[in-house]
Amino acid sequence: MSTRNDAIELRHEALTKALDSLARYKFFMFGYWAAQWVTMNRLISDEKPEPNPFRTLVQEARRLKDGSE
C-alpha cells in the first residue's frame, strides 16, 4: 500500500468481500473482511473515520440476542 488512494480501494474491496461472505454464510470470512475494513478505515482517516457500515448488523444482532424481537 503506497498511497491513500490504495488504502481507500482496499477498504472498498474489504467491504465488498465482507458483504459477499456474509451473504454466502461464510461467517469466518465475513469477520476477517470486516476487520480489514476497520483497519483500513483507521489508517485512512486522519481526522474523522467513516461510519462503520456494519453498525446496523451489530445492532440487529444485539436486538436478537436480547430477545426483543
pLDDT at 69: 59
pLDDT in tens, the chain (69 residues): 468 889 899 999 999 999 999 999 999 999 999 999 999 999 887 778 899 999 999 999 999 999 865
10-38 core/surface letters (b: 16 or more CB in 10 A; e: else): bbeebbebbbebbeeeeeeebeebbebbe
> What is d(CA 59, CA 43) in angstroms, rounded to the nearest whole number?
25
> What is d(CA 21, CA 38) in angstroms, rounded to the nearest whole number?
16
Closest listed residue to residue 38, CA positions, set 58, 15, 61: 15
pLDDT at 23: 97
pTM: 0.85
Number of domains composing the chain: 1
DSSP 2: -
pLDDT at 54: 97
Domain boundaries, position 29: 4-66
